[in-house]
Amino acid sequence: IAAFGYGARIPSNKSKANHCFALSFNEANPEVPGIAGLMQAYAQAVQSVELYGPTNMAPLLRQAQAIAQHRKGEYLVVLVVTDGVISDAPSTIAEIVNCSKLPISIVIVGVGDADFSQMDQLDGDDGVLRDRNGSACIHDIVQFVPFNQFKDNPQSLAAEVLREIPGQFTTCMKLLGVKPIGM
């Protein structure tokens, strides 16, 4: 699993916010071994970084695009955990529009009591997401989940996080002209 963080000062550069860093702090190899490796890297990163703004999500989404373009034949699910508003909404929207052309789903989990109305906008459930130039997402690829609504029910949280991915995957495969084996 390629694991990245954003919106923090990291040990190797405490002078400014880093908007896309490997959770393992090994930029040459951001991969961690499975869920256990992800949890370990996250726990280590939480102890080592200082959350710091501005919070820009666009660099993280550009990294996701690079991974998706490099990993031909794979479908990428990007899980973003955030505690509030992003500072680069227009750029983030543009990157989501770009991501919609690739085999990518984005799940954003909002933690805490912040105003997450901006994240609801990124979720294309209320209409087609368009960037400032009018370019539209080819299909809905974002699922926003407010953690507080599900924090007492882990099964419902998991179901909500995963709820839109099967449809997003199927739509993406149709758009890319990929047919199931044997069909």
The residue to which tokens 């974002």 are assigned: 142
User: pLDDT tens-digit profile of 77-109?
Assistant: 999 998 878 899 999 999 999 999 999 999 999
Does 183 have pLDDT greater than 70?
Answer: no
The amino acid at 66: A
Give CA–CA dist 37/46, Å, rounded.
Answer: 14
Give CA–CA dist 4/8, Å, rounded.
Answer: 11
Q: Which two tokens stand for residue 66?
A: 């690079």
More confident residue, 14 or 171: 171
Angle between the N-to-C axes of helices 89-99 and 58-70, in degrees from 0 to 180, rounded to the nearest 10: 20
Please state the pTM of the whole predicted model. Answer: 0.90
User: pLDDT tens-digit profile of 56-79?
Assistant: 999 999 999 999 999 888 999 999
